[in-house]
Each structure stands twice: as structure tokens, then as C-alpha cells.
């Protein structure tokens, strides 16, 4: 397995694996019709986002052979600062991390998180935070095994006209994720 920076050529595989992961991890949490209606076709905005290199955000992909099996997008904590304010001293955030369910438990998520943590640490964006959909036991176990703990912040995520509860977890500044 290899971890590298993602780009526009990865958009189709990223979208397909994200949706497969959503369907597996969020079944029984997110409405069935929402999961069934997920499009594997990446939007123009998604492709542009992979094309545009931001100074304080990156998308990493995990490859096994010729296939992308996972990805992580990380950057500044968007609830605490703007892109213009991002950089050293601003908390980092895992915006997304997904591995295709066929590859769960085989180290791709851990490898992606390790590289994401390294990148955020080098950027000086600490602590590292992630928002998790409440009830997502697959994600919760992964984050807790890596060292993330709830920090007490809660909010809601709007999806298809419905609000879903989310909880923020943080990785202590000295956590190694090993």
C-alpha cells in the first residue's frame, strides 16, 4: 500500500469508495433513501477541489496496486478560522477519512491518519480534531483506537433536509497514533 497526494484523476475512485463506506458505516443512522441516492459521479466542485492546491489543506489517498482504496482530506478547523487565517497555531481538522469497506481493518485508515497527522503537525495546526456522526460505531472505534477522545462539542450535520447529531473528538497534541 502506498499513500500519496490525491488529485483530479482520483475523483471517480474517491467518490465510489466514499459512498461504499457511507452505505456500510451509516446504515441505520442515515435515512435509507439518502444512502440509496448517493451518486458515484463526482461533482464539478469536488473535482475542482482536488485540482486546487490549498496552502493549508491536502487530500491523501491510499493505493493498493492500481486502485485507490481510501482517502483523507485534512486542513484547518473550519469552524474556528477562515482559510486566510489558517496556518500555525490554528487547530487542524480531519475533514474526511474513508476507506472502502472491503479494506476495513487492514491498516489503510491508520496509514492515512498517520500521514494526515504528520502533515497537520508539520503545518503547526494542533490540536487535531474530527467531527463524527453520532451512532457511527465503525468510525468511533477507529478514532478511539487512534487516540481521539470526545472533547464535549456537539452540533448537527444537515443532510437531505434532515439534521443528524455530530460530536467532535480531538487528538491530544502529544499523541503518536501508533
Q: What is the 3-state secondary structure (H, E, C) of the chain?
A: CEEEECCHHHHHHHHHHHHHHHHHHCECCECHHHHHCCCCCCCHHHHHHHHCCCCCEEEEEEEECCEEEEEEEEEECCCCCCCCCCCCCCCEEEEEEEECHHHCCCCHHHHHHHHHHHHHHHHCCCCEEEEEECCCHHHHHHHHHHCCEEEEEEEEEEECCEEEEEEEEEECCCCCCC
Give the model confidence (pLDDT) of 38-89 as tens digits. 998 888 878 877 876 677 899 999 999 999 999 999 999 999 888 888 889 9
Confidence band, pLDDT 50/70/90 cuts, at residue 174:
low
| pTM, to two decimals | 0.92
What is the structure's pLDDT at 178? 41
Res 175: pLDDT: 61
Q: Which domains does the chain have, with CATH numbers?
A: 2-128 (3.40.630.30)
Q: What percent of the chain has pLDDT over 90?
A: 80
Residue 108 binned pLDDT confidence (cut-offs 50, 70, 90): very high
The pLDDT assigned to 7 comes to: 92
**Average pLDDT for 113-133:** 96
In this predicted structure, what is the pLDDT of residue 53? Answer: 67
User: Which of 43-47, 120-124, 133-137, 161-165 is predicted with the least confidence, judged by mean pLDDT?
Assistant: 43-47
- pLDDT for 24-45, tens place per residue? 999 999 999 999 999 988 888 7
Amino acid at each position: 500500500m502506498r499513500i500519496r497526494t490525491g488529485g483530479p484523476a482520483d475523483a471517480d475512485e474517491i467518490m465510489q469508495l466514499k459512498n461504499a463506506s457511507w452505505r456500510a458505516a451509516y446504515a441505520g443512522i442515515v435515512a435509507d433513501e439518502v444512502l440509496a441516492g448517493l451518486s458515484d459521479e463526482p461533482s464539478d466542485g469536488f473535482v475542482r477541489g482536488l485540482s486546487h492546491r490549498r496552502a493549508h489543506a491536502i487530500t491523501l489517498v491510499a493505493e493498493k496496486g492500481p486502485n485507490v482504496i481510501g482517502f483523507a482530506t485534512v486542513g484547518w478547523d473550519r469552524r474556528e478560522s477562515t482559510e486566510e487565517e489558517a496556518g500555525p497555531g490554528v487547530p487542524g481538522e480531519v475533514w474526511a477519512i474513508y476507506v472502502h469497506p472491503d479494506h476495513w481493518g487492514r491498516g489503510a485508515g491508520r496509514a492515512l491518519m498517520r500521514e494526515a497527522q504528520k502533515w497537520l503537525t508539520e503545518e503547526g495546526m494542533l490540536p487535531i480534531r474530527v467531527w463524527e456522526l453520532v451512532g457511527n460505531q465503525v468510525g468511533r472505534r477507529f478514532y478511539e483506537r487512534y487516540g481521539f477522545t470526545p472533547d464535549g462539542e456537539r452540533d448537527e450535520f444537515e443532510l437531505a433536509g434532515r439534521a443528524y447529531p455530530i460530536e467532535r473528538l480531538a487528538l491530544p497534541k502529544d499523541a503518536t497514533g501508533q
